[in-house]
Amino acid sequence: MSTGQQHQPGSNSDVRRAATHAIITIVFVLACFGVAALSSGSLRTAMIAAAPAVMFVGAFSSLWITYRSWQAGGRWQVWQGASWFLLAAAVLTLMSTAPVLLD
């Protein structure tokens, strides 16, 4: 986007922004797992517990952007797709970390 151009609600940048949001969320979750793998004790437990929390924060922020896009008349469907993907990933992450946290 050059200077002077306004963001168009129906532009392809919505798809790019939603994909970038999902990818950044997943990278943060993988970073939590990486730190957990390299540590031990309470830091390991905290990082394993933080991973689903980070995924849920990413999912709920995507839902918030969905709502704001819908209000503005933009392409809210793109953000809803990202929201559903992140919510499903958050549930899978939570279920996969639960056995480790319950030990």
pLDDT at 95: 95
d(CA 52, CA 93) in angstroms, rounded, equals 6
**Mean of pLDDT values over 5-24:** 79
For residues 86, 90, 48, 23, the Cα torsion angle rounded to the nearest 10 degrees is -10
- Statement: residue 8 has pLDDT above 90: no
H-state helical runs in the chain = 13-37, 41-72, 76-102
DSSP state of 66: H
101 burial class (0-12, 13-18, 19+ CB within 10 angstroms)?
exposed
Decide: helix, strand or coil at residue 14: helix
Kindly report, residue by residue over 27-81, the tens digit of the pLDDT: 999 999 999 999 998 999 999 999 999 999 999 999 999 999 999 998 899 999 9
Domain boundaries, the chain: 24-102
Question: Looking at residue 17, what is its pLDDT?
Answer: 94
How confident is the model at residue 2, as a pLDDT?
A: 46
Give residue 81's region: left, alpha or beta (phi > 0; psi -120 to 50). alpha
pTM (two decimals): 0.82
- Look at residue 103 in the predicted model and tell me its pLDDT: 78
